């Protein structure tokens, strides 16, 4: 019976060990993915910013700017692409909505951003565009890959519609989490005017272009990224836009928008809490369960050795006892059958 128990324990140990390995190296890569129906919003602010007054064509300082960024997963488009290609895809319907002091719209730039649910590599489908302009992205946007590595990545900039390296600058700690710091600088470049102009401005991007005005832009983009989830915990942009006049006018550029854009504190706290929760789930699947199963496998194997050892000692003891009984019986038989000694 004990021998059977030892065999069962050995089989259990092997099962637990294999299960732990499969959880980490097979289940984890296949299960961990961005959900195709995810929705999230973040509010960013720029205090003491400068904004253009189109009626006077001058920059007005000491303005407060609010930027609302929303990401909404288009599950129907993602499932349609999966049926077509068999690939797990996420299609984000993104919108960056900029508001001025008075709460009126300054600009709005929509995006359709399809990407691989596991690697975050762009997928060219589903009406991919920025502000209605069709394109094929290179590099990541909004989110870094799961298990982000401490090296540079190509990061897509929606203003210029181009990609450039975002550089790994080091590792630091943010609210108890170890994070990677990345930074990208976009040099001054000419960019198109948003199709949605500020509310109350009786002018269109086409009219501005026809007058020879140009919109130029530069930014320094900063992200503090949780390596496990690839989620930016914090972000900041030193954002600058100018309206440049025709060269023949002799006029200096006018600031359209200049400010230090940061995540609003309440949204920063909510982001940190969400990332910590997601980290816990990923660590459970990648580390805690496999390691726990490995310990359990070793324990089951050790118990099997204990049970088998006791069984062997018992068998040895029984063999010795039987041998002693047989020897004793032989001695008694010899004594009873021996002839009497002569006198």
Looking at the predicted structure, is the pLDDT value of residue 240 above 50? Answer: yes
Looking at the predicted structure, is the pLDDT value of residue 333 above 80? Answer: no
Per-chain mean pLDDT for the chain: 85
Could you read off the pLDDT of 82-124 as tens digits, one per residue? Answer: 999 999 999 999 999 999 988 889 999 999 999 999 999 999 9
Could you read off the pLDDT of 147-172 as tens digits, one per residue? Answer: 999 999 999 999 999 999 999 999 99
Tell me the whole-structure pTM to 2 decimals.
0.81
Domain spans of the chain?
Answer: 1-31+276-301, 32-263
**Which SS3 state, helix, strand or coil, does residue 74 take?**
coil
Could you read off the pLDDT of 214-234 as tens digits, one per residue? Answer: 999 999 999 999 999 999 999
Does an H or E element contain 280, and which?
Answer: helix 265-283
Looking at the predicted structure, is the pLDDT value of residue 341 above 50? Answer: no
**Which SS3 state, helix, strand or coil, does residue 315 take?**
helix
Calculate the CA 88 to chain-centre distance: 15
Tokens describing residue 99: 């508001």
**Which SS3 state, helix, strand or coil, does residue 204 take?**
coil
Alpha-carbon dihedral angle through residues 193, 196, 199, 204, given to the nearest 10 degrees: 60
Nearby residues of 87 by Cβ (< 8 Å), 6 or more positions away: 81, 116, 123
Which of the pair, 198 or 225, is modelled with greater confidence?
225
Distance CA 237, CA 55 (A): 27
- Please provide the size of the chain in residues: 343
DSSP 248: G
Q: Identify the pLDDT of residue 263.
A: 96
Distance CA 185, CA 162 (A): 12
Tokens describing residue 127: 């009406």
Q: Identify the pLDDT of residue 97.
A: 93
Could you read off the pLDDT of 270-295 as tens digits, one per residue? Answer: 999 999 988 887 777 766 666 776 77
pLDDT band at residue 304 under the 50/70/90 scheme:
low
**Which SS3 state, helix, strand or coil, does residue 1 take?**
coil
Q: Identify the pLDDT of residue 343.
A: 37
Distance CA 166, CA 48 (A): 27
Looking at the predicted structure, is the pLDDT value of residue 141 above 90? Answer: yes
Q: Identify the pLDDT of residue 189.
A: 96
Cβ neighbours of 60 (radius 10 Å):
14
Taking CA atoms, 76 is separated from 11, 140, 159, 300, in Å, by 45, 22, 27, 47
């Amino acid at each position: 019976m004990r021998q059977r128990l030892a065999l069962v324990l050995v089989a259990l140990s092997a099962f637990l060990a294999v299960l732990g390995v499969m959880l980490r190296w097979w289940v984890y890569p296949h299960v961990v993915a961005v959900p195709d129906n995810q929705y999230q919003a973040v509010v960013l602010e720029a205090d003491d910013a400068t904004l253009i007054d189109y009626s006077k064509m001058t920059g007005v300082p000491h303005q407060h700017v609010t930027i609302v960024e929303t990401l909404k997963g288009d599950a129907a488009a993602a499932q349609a692409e999966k049926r077509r290609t068999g690939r797990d895809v996420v299609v984000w319907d993104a919108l960056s909505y900029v508001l001025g002091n008075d709460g009126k719209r300054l600009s709005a730039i929509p995006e359709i951003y399809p990407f691989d649910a596991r690697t975050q590599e762009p997928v060219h489908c589903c009406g991919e565009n920025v502000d209605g302009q069709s394109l094929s992205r290179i590099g990541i946007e909004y989110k870094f890959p799961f298990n982000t590595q401490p090296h540079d990545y190509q990061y897509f900039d929606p203003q210029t519609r181009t990609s450039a390296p975002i550089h790994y600058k080091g590792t630091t700690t943010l609210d108890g989490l170890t994070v990677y710091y990345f930074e990208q600088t976009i040099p001054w470049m000419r960019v198109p005017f948003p199709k949605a102009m500020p509310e109350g401005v009786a002018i269109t991007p086409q009219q501005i272009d026809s007058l020879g005005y140009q919109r130029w832009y530069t930014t320094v983009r900063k992200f503090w990224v949780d390596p496990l989830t690839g989620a930016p915990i914090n972000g900041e942009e030193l954002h600058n836009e100018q309206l440049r006049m025709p060269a023949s006018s002799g006029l200096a550029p006018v600031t359209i928008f200049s400010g230090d854009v940061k995540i609003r504190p309440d949204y920063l706290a909510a982001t940190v809490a969400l990332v910590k929760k997601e980290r816990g789930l990923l660590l459970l699947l990648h580390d805690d369960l496999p390691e726990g199963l490995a310990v359990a496998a070793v324990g089951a194997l050790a118990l099997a050795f204990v049970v088998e050892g006791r069984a062997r000692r018992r068998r040895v003891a029984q063999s010795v006892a039987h041998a002693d009984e047989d020897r004793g019986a032989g001695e008694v038989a010899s004594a009873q059958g021996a002839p009497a000694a002569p006198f």
